[in-house]
């Protein structure tokens, strides 16, 4: 494994602070390194591998699609892409689907669509977007400007203009930024990278009302919190609202790179041929993954399972808060949880990796957990045993 790591260090740009573990295969909710050591995966590739590894129906469907048709141009329809788009429409309760390859691309597309609507309405291209501090929406020069963290931005300017930042769960801070140029408000129902902060229900309903009042596009970024991770197919159903546009990726493909932005009828009507495109977006292989994921979520009652096992995880995290002085609280929804520490989280994450458990940080002092949606209570117990061992040392 040391040899593989050394070769990787020479081959790649230094864009990631990688761990000195080389993973070779996965099975169920476990990953295995090149030496055969097992790791309980409570990160699922940043919330991507919702079905874990080797889920039989998923593997079979992709094998069949690879043997049938992997890619054609978007100048043509394919049955599998149409079925995938219909599944997305049903799940989101929105109207128009655009498939892309990642969450960043979904954000970029949503931004363009909101600005196109504004342009058609006002006849000028001077729109502003409201985002939130501590948010994360991607790393391209457009999406990174929407990301409310200067550390991601400062080396890459000049970035796009017209983005202003409000405070999460503070509707007055949003109102203070709205003007006649405001085209959209973009928000994560649960901030992931920023520290696992859920939006309050009252705040989300106020945002929806504010956007309706001013004819502003409400964009919800559910790239990390969507697709059943919080217990409902889309987190926004827990707030009793619908967005104008929603951004999806990660769990929508469960390992195949695919994203989407989905708009209601009003905003979808602003998109015209030539406004946007993607060579690989919506190709048959990606769409087979999307269709199969929705089929499995329904057929195998995955959402009900998430609701059940997440309650057990939350109960166990509550016990850690009571048990350890170093643990301040936990926060999140469903199987998107953050354990807040008084100290830095990185040493705890590293020690857990040494114990054979994969988690990650969110911010400086939060241990973030995004396990596959198929985990069982026995896997929560395994996590807790090892987490207690590590916390006793911290």
**At a CB cut-off of 8 Å and minimum separation 6, what does 59 contact?**
none
Which of 306, 308, 323, 334 minimizes the C-alpha distance to 387?
323
Among residues 257, 224, 225, which one has the least CA distance to residue 238? Answer: 225
- Sign of the dihedral through C-alpha 303, 305, 311, 313: negative
Q: What CATH number was assigned to the domain covering residues 57-299?
A: 3.40.640.10
Q: Per residue of the chain (394 residues), what is the pLDDT tens digit?
A: 889 999 999 999 999 999 999 999 999 999 999 999 999 999 999 999 999 999 999 999 999 999 999 999 999 999 999 999 999 999 999 999 999 999 999 999 999 999 999 999 999 999 999 999 999 999 999 999 999 999 999 999 999 999 999 999 999 999 999 999 999 999 999 999 999 999 999 999 999 999 999 999 999 999 999 999 999 999 999 999 999 999 999 999 999 999 999 999 999 999 999 999 999 999 999 999 999 999 999 999 999 999 999 999 999 999 999 999 999 999 999 999 999 999 999 999 999 999 999 999 998 999 999 999 999 999 999 999 999 999 998 7
**What ranges in 235-334 are assigned the alpha helix state H?**
265-268, 284-299, 302-323
pLDDT for 308 equals 98
232 sits in the region (left: phi over 0; alpha: psi -120 to 50; else beta) called beta
Q: Contact, 331 vs 340, CB < 8 A?
A: yes
> Residue-wise over 100-129: b if at least 16 C-beta within 10 A, else e?
bbbbbbbbbbbbbbbbbbbeeeeeeeebbb
Closest CA to 353 of 386, 392, 375, 330: 386
What pLDDT is stored for residue 257 in this prediction? Answer: 97
Bridge partners of residue 333, in order along the sequence = 336
Neighbours of 38 (CB within 10 A): 13
Decide if 226 contacts 195 (C-beta within 8 A): no
Quick check: helix, strand or coil at residue 353? helix
Instruction: Compute the chain's Rg from CA coordinates.
Output: 21
What does the angle CA 84 – CA 85 – CA 86 come to, to the nearest 5 degrees? Answer: 90
Measured between alpha carbons, how far is 80 from 284 in angstroms, rounded to an integer?
A: 6
Q: How many CB atoms lie within 10 A of CB 5?
A: 14
Count CA within 13 A, CB hemisphere, residue 266.
12
Peptide bond into 158 cis (omega under 30): yes
> What does the domain layout of the chain look like in residue ranges?
2-55+301-391, 57-299
- Distances from the Cα of 213 to the Cαs of 117, 120, 178, 216, 239, in angstroms? 16, 19, 11, 8, 18
Decide: pTM greater than 0.95: yes
In angstroms, the CA 84 to CA 25 distance is: 28
How is domain 2-55+301-391 classified at the CATH fold level?
3.90.1150
pLDDT of residue 394: 79
The values of phi and psi at residue 3, to 5°, are -65, -45
- Cβ neighbours, 10 Å, residue 62: 18
Q: What angle do CA 48, 96, 90 make, to 5 degrees?
A: 65
Q: Length of the chain in residues, anyone?
A: 394
């Amino acid at each position: 494994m040391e040899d593989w790591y050394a070769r990787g260090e020479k081959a790649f740009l230094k864009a990631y602070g990688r761990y000195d573990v080389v993973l070779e295969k996965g099975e169920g909710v476990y990953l295995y390194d090149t030496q055969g050591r097992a790791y309980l995966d409570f990160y699922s590739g940043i919330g991507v591998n919702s079905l874990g590894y080797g889920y039989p129906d998923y593997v079979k469907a992709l094998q069949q699609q690879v043997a049938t048709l992997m890619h054609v141009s978007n100048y043509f329809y394919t049955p599998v892409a149409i079925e995938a788009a219909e599944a997305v429409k049903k799940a989101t309760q929105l109207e128009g689907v655009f498939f892309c390859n990642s969450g960043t691309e979904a954000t970029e597309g949503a931004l363009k669509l909101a600005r196109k609507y504004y342009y058609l309405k006002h006849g000028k291209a001077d729109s502003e977007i409201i985002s939130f501090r501590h948010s994360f929406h991607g790393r391209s020069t457009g999406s990174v400007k929407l990301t409310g963290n200067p550390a991601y931005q400062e080396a890459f300017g000049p970035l796009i203009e017209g983005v202003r930042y409000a405070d999460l769960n503070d509707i007055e801070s949003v109102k203070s930024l709205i003007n006649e140029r405001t085209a959209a408000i973009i928000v994560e129902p649960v901030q992931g990278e920023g520290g696992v902060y859920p939006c309050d229900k009252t705040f989300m309903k106020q945002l929806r009302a504010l956007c309706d009042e001013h004819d502003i596009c409400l964009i919800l970024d559910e790239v990390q919190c969507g697709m059943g991770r919080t217990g409902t197919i889309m987190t926004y159903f827990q707030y009793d609202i619908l967005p104008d546009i929603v951004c999806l990726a990660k769990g929508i493909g469960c390992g195949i790179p695919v994203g989407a932005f989905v708009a209601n009828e009003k905003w979808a009507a602003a998109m015209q041929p030539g406004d946007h495109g993607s060579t690989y977006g919506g190709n048959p292989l990606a769409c087979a993954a999307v269709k199969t994921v929705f089929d499995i979520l329904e057929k195998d009652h995955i959402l009900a399972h998430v609701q059940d096992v997440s309650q057990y995880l939350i109960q166990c995290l509550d016990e850690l808060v009571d048990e350890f002085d170093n643990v301040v609280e936990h926060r999140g929804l469903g199987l998107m949880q953050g354990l807040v520490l008084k100290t830095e989280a990185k040493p705890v994450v590293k020690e857990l990796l040494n114990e054979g458990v994969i988690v990650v940080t969110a911010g400086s002092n939060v241990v973030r957990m995004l396990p596959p949606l198929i985990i069982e209570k026995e896997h929560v117990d395994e996590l807790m045993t090892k987490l207690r061992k590590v916390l006793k040392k911290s």
